[in-house]
């Protein structure tokens, strides 16, 4: 997606994906976990065109994806929200156990786990507006 120009890239110290401009802002020093996190936002946008998704759900998926990447690649789980690492690690390990037992199944996160993670986001210094709703715009790559 990114390599073929479907997502614009901008240089910046704070990694983020802007759905309106379809721009990934990232620095050359970005960590792999940051790239996984932001790429998850891009993937959700690409695969859910026309759907309205809460920011809290978007962020939970991105943090979970980065935690799964960390556990599978034997890296540390690095999150910018205090105490969230414990929660996303526990959820990621639950996903990994499910995937081991159900290679072709779809895991549904417990809503309570997501609510807890989102409460941490909302009450953190980041002050994430978890209830902000955004329509996913898709990528031109995905239009047929
Ligand atoms: Zn994010």
pLDDT value at residue 94:
97
Q: What is the distance in A from the centroid of ligand 1 to the CA of 11? A: 17
Q: What is the DSSP letter of 13?
A: S
Q: What is the distance in A from the centroid of ligand 1 to the CA of 124? A: 14
pLDDT digits (tens, 9 = 90+) for 94-124: 999 999 999 999 999 999 999 999 999 999 9
Q: What is the distance in A from the centroid of ligand 1 to the CA of 34? A: 9
Q: What is the distance in A from the centroid of ligand 1 to the CA of 58? A: 7
Q: Are 115 and 27 in contact (CB under 8 A)?
A: no
Which is higher by pLDDT, 134 or 78?
A: 134
Give the CB-side neighbour count of residue 125, counting CA atoms within 13 A.
5
CA nearest neighbour of 38 among 54, 55, 18, 13: 18
- pTM (2 decimals)? 0.92
Determine the Cα–Cα distance for residues 14 and 12; give it in Å rounded to an integer.
6
Q: What is the distance in A from the centroid of ligand 1 to the CA of 55? A: 8
pLDDT exceeds 80 at position 1: no
pLDDT digits (tens, 9 = 90+) for 43-86: 999 999 999 999 999 999 999 999 999 999 999 998 889 999 99
pLDDT value at residue 2:
64
Q: Are 7 and 1 in contact (CB under 8 A)?
A: yes
Q: What is the distance in A from the centroid of ligand 1 to the CA of 144? A: 28
pLDDT value at residue 42:
96
Per-residue buried b or exposed e for 30-66, using 16+ beta carbons within 10 Å of the residue's own CB: beebbbbbbbbbbbbbbebeeeebbbbebbbbbbbbb
pLDDT value at residue 76:
92
């Amino acid at each position: 997606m990114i390599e073929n120009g479907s997502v614009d890239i901008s240089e910046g110290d704070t990694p983020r994906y802007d759905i309106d401009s379809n721009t990934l802002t990232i620095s050359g020093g970005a960590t792999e976990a940051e790239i996984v996190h932001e790429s998850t936002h891009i993937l959700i946008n690409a695969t859910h065109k026309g759907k309205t998704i809460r920011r809290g759900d978007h962020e939970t998926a991105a943090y979970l994806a980065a935690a799964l990447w960390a556990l599978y690649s034997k890296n540390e789980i690095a999150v910018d929200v205090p105490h969230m690492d414990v929660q996303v690690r526990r959820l990621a390990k639950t996903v990994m156990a499910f995937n081991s037992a159900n290679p072709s199944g779809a895991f549904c996160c417990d809503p309570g786990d997501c609510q807890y993670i989102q409460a941490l986001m909302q009450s953190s210094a980041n002050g994430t507006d978890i209830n902000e709703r955004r329509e996913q715009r898709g990528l031109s790559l995905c239009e047929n």
